Chain A
Amino acid sequence: MVTEAPKQKVQLKQGMLDNVMRQFSNAAAIIGLNSNIRKILEVTNNEILVHFPVRMDNGEVEIFTGYRVQHNNALGPYKGGLRYHPTVDIDAARALAMWMTWKTSLAGLPYGGAKGGIQLDPSKYSQAELERITRRFTYALGDNIGPELDIPAPDVNTNSQTMAWILDTYMSTKSPAERSTNTHVVTGKPIGAGGSEGRDRATGYGVFLTIKFWAEHKGVDLKGKKFIVQGFGNVGYWTAHFLENEGAIMVAVQDAYGTLHNNQGIPVEKLLEYAKANKGSILGFAGAQSIDNKEFFALDCDICVPAALGNQITIENASKIKAVLIAEGANGPTDVEAEEVLLQRGVEILPDILCNSGGVIGSYFEWLQNRSGEIWQLEEVMTKLEKKLRESFNKVMETSQKRGVDKRAAAFIIAIERLEDAYVQRGIFP
C-alpha cells in the first residue's frame, strides 16, 4: 500500500485507519448495520503495548516497544501477523487488526482479527539479537497470546524462523504436561516445527483458484488466455505456475528488476530457474524482451495479476488497462479512483480480501492439524483449500448480484453480516 511520506507520518497512519474505516462504513451503510453493533466493530477489544529490555551483542541493553492489537473475537480466537518494522505503531496495528477481522470473517474461519509487531529496523540487528528480541517479546506478551486466544503469524520482516522462536519460548513458559498441546500458538512455522505442507503456495494457489472460479462463472475457458503478472515472488510465481498448468499464457512479468514481454508466451518454470540462478533477477532471460516498466499495465492481455506493491493501478494507468479481469494478489493494488474508472469501463476486479485469502486459510489448516495431532498430505491441504475458497467466491458473486454492488463491497458485506449474526445470536454480557 502506498502511504504518505515520512514528514507526513501522522497522516500516513491515519490514512491507513481511515481507509479501513471508510470501507467498513460503506458496507455498513449498504446493509443498514445495527448502530450498536457498529459501535462495537468500530473499536478494538484490546491494545497491548509492552516495553522490554534485550541484551545486545556488544553487551549494552536496549529497550524495545512491542504492540499487539486485538480487534474482535466474536467469531473465534484473534488471528493476525507480527511485523518488525520502523513504521509499526498502535495506529498501524489498529488498522491492520481490523482488516484481519474482515478477512477471516469473509473466509468463513473461526477467527477474529489482530495485528502487532515491534518498532525496529531488523537490518540493524544480528540474527542472535533478533532471536533474543523475539523471545523476550513473546515472554512480555505472556498469556495475552495463546493457541485458543490469539494466534500470531509471519508478516513483514518476520518468517517461519521467527515463529519457531515464538513457539519455543511460549512452550517453555508452560508446565511439561502442557507443552505439546500448545504447538498451534503460532502458524507459519517451518514444517519440522509443526508447519503445514502447502502453506508456501497457499496464497498463489488461492489467487489462481479465484480466477478459475471466475472463468467458470463466466463460462470462459482459461486455455489460451493471456495473463500478465506484476511480482515474481512467492505469490506471483505460484499464481503463474497454476495458470500455466491450466493452459493460460504468461505474456509479461514485472519484478523489482524490470519488465519482460513476449506475446508468444514466457515459460514460467524456465523463468523461475533463470531467476534463481541470476540472484533472483528476471532480467536477461532469453525467452522475452525487456521493455519499459511504464508499458506493463497497458499491455494486451486478458487477465492482470498485480501481486507486488499496493496502489500500483492508479488514475494514471487505469484507462490504459486492456485486461478484462484484475485479480488482486497483493493487498490494495488498486486505488479508489482507479477502481471507479475500471468498473465504469466494465473491467472486473477480484478484491484482495477474497483473492489473496488462501494464505490465512492455509494458516487455519496448520492450526487445525496441530490442534488435532494430524499431519495432512499436500493434496489434502490443497483440496480443502479449494473447497473453502469456492464457498467464499460463491458468496461474493451471489451477494454482488443480489445487492447490485461491486465485488469488493460484497466481500465486506458478507464479512460484516457474519459478525452481525454472531452478536445478534449471542447478545452482550451482562
Chain B
Amino acid sequence: MEQVRKKYKWSICSTCTFLSFCELTKDKSNISSCSEYIHYMDGHTKMSLFERSQNKVPRAKKEFNNWF
C-alpha cells in the first residue's frame, strides 16, 4: 500500500482510505478533488489530551425526518 501511495503522491487519492478499492476512476494519478474522499484524519479524532468522562450519556442526535 505504501508503494501505491507513493505512486499517487500528487493526487488526493494518496491520502484516501478508499484508495485500494476505488472504482470511480481507474487513473488515480491525477485527481485533486473527490466528494467520496475519506480523510486520513477522519476516524483519528481521539483527543490526545482529554478523554470523555466514562459515564457521560451521549448527546442525542437530533433527527431530521419530518422536514417536509
Q: Which of B5, B24, B68 contacts A309 (CB 8 A)?
A: B24
Within 8 Å CB of A158, what residues of B?
39, 41
Q: Which of A87, A161, A330 contacts B35 (CB 8 A)?
A: A330
Within 8 Å CB of A197, what residues of B?
62
Query: What residue in chain B is nearest A329 (Cβ atoms)?
Result: B35
Q: Which chain B residues numbered 18 to 53 have a C-beta less than 8 Å away from chain A? A: 18, 21-25, 27, 29-42, 44-46, 48
| A122 and B10 contact, CB distance less than 8 A | no
Q: Is A265 an interface residue (CB 8 A)?
A: no
Query: What residue in chain A is nearest B26 (Cβ atoms)?
Result: A293
Query: What residue in chain B is nearest A161 (Cβ atoms)?
Result: B45
Within 8 Å CB of B9, what residues of A?
6, 86, 121
Known contacts A308-B34, A309-B25, A329-B35, A256 near B41 by CB under 8 Å: no
Known contacts A230-B24, A257-B23, A308 near B15 by CB under 8 Å: no
Known contacts A201-B64, A246-B68, A156 near B24 by CB under 8 Å: no
Chain B interface size, as a band, is 35 or more
Q: Is A251 an interface residue (CB 8 A)?
A: no
Q: Is A3 an interface residue (CB 8 A)?
A: yes
Residue among B30, B35, B44, B46 with max Cβ neighbours from chain A (10 Å): B35
A117 to chain B, nearest CB (A): 12
Known contacts A12-B30, A378-B64, A256 near B42 by CB under 8 Å: no
Within 8 Å CB of A245, what residues of B?
67-68
Within 8 Å CB of A379, what residues of B?
67
CA–CA, A117 and B43, complex, Å: 21
Chain A 288-321 interface mask (CB, 8 Å, partner B; 1/0): 0000010000000000000111101000000000
Contact sample, A vs B, 29 pairs, CB 8 Å cutoff: A2-B30, A2-B32, A6-B9, A9-B10, A12-B10, A12-B30, A121-B5, A121-B14, A122-B40, A123-B5, A127-B45, A157-B40, A159-B41, A159-B45, A161-B45, A254-B23, A254-B24, A256-B36, A280-B38, A293-B23, A308-B36, A309-B33, A309-B34, A309-B35, A309-B36, A310-B33, A330-B34, A330-B35, A332-B33
B residues neighboring A (CB under 8 Å): 5, 9-12, 14-15, 18, 21-25, 27, 29-42, 44-46, 48, 62, 64, 67-68
